[in-house]
């Protein structure tokens, strides 16, 4: 029997309200240091409470790296950083075995842990690393451990990868492999700030002092909230609607649209379905609902699926807009009760 069946509904409702209060407090504290980006910050926190990794795409200088620093401060978590370059090797991220003296003159191999052994790992400009190095993150993002020399080394918990990516049109970038993209819960676009935001950024960042941020939540509390999110129920019709959205992104299914058949090579993987449900639960709580609705699924569809829909040659040649394509899917896939 699930935990939700044994918990008093009034108690569960109270815990859901505690989640909303904690989420708002986190968001407020982060905004003491970061100007604007309201929607993006909300989606980053949704991924954090959903237990997923985030890929941030934007040109340099938009504060993506600073966001990770602020997030680690308000959550009271350790953070590590990997600056990706073409000569970066997998061992520079994961760690490597080194020869050391055990104190008696005997030489032994010891695993020297890399920067991945932390709570929040910033992988800066991930698409400037070669595909071989990018692939080094596949195991840690999925399994939360590192395998080296036949040994398994568990990562700290909670563990998140926050990766930044330059637009692919920029020089010296390598497209992320499909399997790598699929490990990210959300892909978020970091927009260039408007005039008012630029003015406020200059006020806050050109002085001598930075704001002192308080720790809003511990790692243990975060894990409790992550477990709480899994208790939000999802009705069968909502599950089927999410599945229909995923199937509609595939060019070879009866649900696919003409534009999908023409421009898409591969649609979303089952991880896309999992992400819709996990993030839909978080969104439902934030909207004051105690169960996931189709509106929650629709609200998270773009960040959950945009990196999982891969264009074919024609789509790439025409620089077809994946977000626009997903918008068509959302418009045309009927919700339960629609004809």
* 199: its two tokens: 């003015």
282's CB contacts (< 8 A; 6+ apart) are 46, 49, 50, 229
* Rounded alpha-carbon distances, angstroms, from residue 39 to 31, 58, 258: 12, 15, 31
Nearest-angstrom CA–CA distance, 46 and 141: 17
Q: Above 50 in pLDDT, residue 154?
A: yes
pLDDT of residue 4: 42
pLDDT band at residue 3 under the 50/70/90 scheme: very low
Asked if 90 contacts 131 with a C-beta cutoff of 8 angstroms, the reply is no
Asked if 158 contacts 222 with a C-beta cutoff of 8 angstroms, the reply is yes
Please report where in the chains the tokens 């970091």 appear, as a residue: 190
pLDDT band at residue 72 under the 50/70/90 scheme: confident
Asked if 56 contacts 34 with a C-beta cutoff of 8 angstroms, the reply is no
* 152: its two tokens: 């398994």
DSSP letter (8 states) at residue 193: P
Backbone angles phi, psi at 109, to 5 degrees: -90, 130
Farthest-apart Cα atoms in the chain, separation: 78
* 110: its two tokens: 């010891």
Q: Above 70 in pLDDT, residue 335?
A: yes
Please report where in the chains the tokens 């626009």 appear, as a residue: 324
pLDDT band at residue 1 under the 50/70/90 scheme: very low
Domains of the chain: 1-217 (3.40.50.300), 232-339 (1.10.8.80)
SS3 205: helix
Q: For 290-323, what is each residue's pLDDT tens digit?
A: 899 999 999 999 999 999 999 999 988 888 889 9
Q: For 82-135, what is each residue's pLDDT tens digit?
A: 988 888 998 899 988 788 876 677 777 777 888 999 999 999 888 888 888 888
Backbone angles phi, psi at 298, to 5 degrees: -65, -35
Q: For 6-62, what is each residue's pLDDT tens digit?
A: 567 788 888 899 999 999 999 999 888 887 778 888 999 999 999 999 999 876 666
DSSP letter (8 states) at residue 206: S
Nearest-angstrom CA–CA distance, 133 and 140: 13
Q: For 239-295, what is each residue's pLDDT tens digit?
A: 999 999 999 999 998 878 889 999 999 999 999 999 999 999 999 999 999 899 999
Could you check whether the bond before residue 144 is cis, i.e. omega within 30 degrees of 0? Answer: no
| 81 bridge partner residues | 122
Average confidence (pLDDT) over 69-81? 88
Q: Are strands 107-113 and 95-101 parallel, antiparallel or unpaired?
A: antiparallel
- What's the predicted TM-score (pTM) here? 0.87
């Amino acid at each position: 029997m699930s935990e939700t069946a044994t918990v008093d509904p009034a108690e569960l409702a109270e815990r859901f309200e505690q989640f909303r209060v904690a989420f708002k407090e986190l968001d407020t504290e982060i905004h003491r240091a970061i100007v604007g980006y309201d929607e993006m910050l909300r989606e980053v926190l949704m991924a954090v409470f959903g237990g997923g990794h985030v890929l941030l795409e934007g040109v340099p200088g938009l504060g993506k790296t600073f966001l990770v620093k602020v997030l680690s401060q308000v959550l009271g978590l350790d953070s590590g950083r990997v600056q990706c370059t073409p000569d970066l090797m997998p061992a520079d991220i994961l760690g490597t075995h080194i020869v050391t003296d055990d104190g008696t003159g005997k030489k032994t191999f010891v695993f020297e842990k890399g920067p991945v052994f932390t709570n929040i790992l910033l992988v800066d400009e991930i698409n400037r690393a070669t595909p071989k190095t990018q692939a080094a993150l596949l195991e840690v993002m999925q399994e939360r451990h590192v395998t080296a020399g036949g040994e398994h080394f568990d990562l700290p918990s909670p563990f998140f990868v926050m990766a930044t990516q330059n637009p692919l049109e920029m020089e010296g970038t390598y497209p992320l492999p499909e399997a790598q993209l699929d490990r990210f819960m959300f892909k978020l676009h970091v927009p260039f700030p408007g005039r008012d935001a630029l003015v406020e950024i200059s006020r806050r960042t050109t002085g001598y002092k930075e704001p002192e941020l308080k720790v809003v939540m511990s790692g243990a509390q975060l894990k409790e909230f992550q477990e709480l999110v899994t208790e939000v129920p999802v009705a069968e019709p909502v599950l089927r609607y999410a599945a229909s959205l995923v199937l509609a992104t595939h060019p070879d299914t009866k649900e696919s649209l003409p534009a999908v058949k023409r421009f898409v090579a591969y649609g979303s993987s089952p991880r896309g379905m999992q992400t819709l449900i996990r993030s839909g639960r978080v969104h439902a709580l934030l909207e004051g609902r105690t169960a996931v609705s189709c509106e929650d699924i629709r609200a998270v569809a773009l960040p959950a699926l945009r990196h999982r829909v891969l264009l074919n040659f024609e789509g790439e040649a025409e620089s077809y807009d994946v977000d626009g394509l997903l918008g068509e899917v959302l418009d045309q896939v009927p919700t339960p009760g629609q004809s």
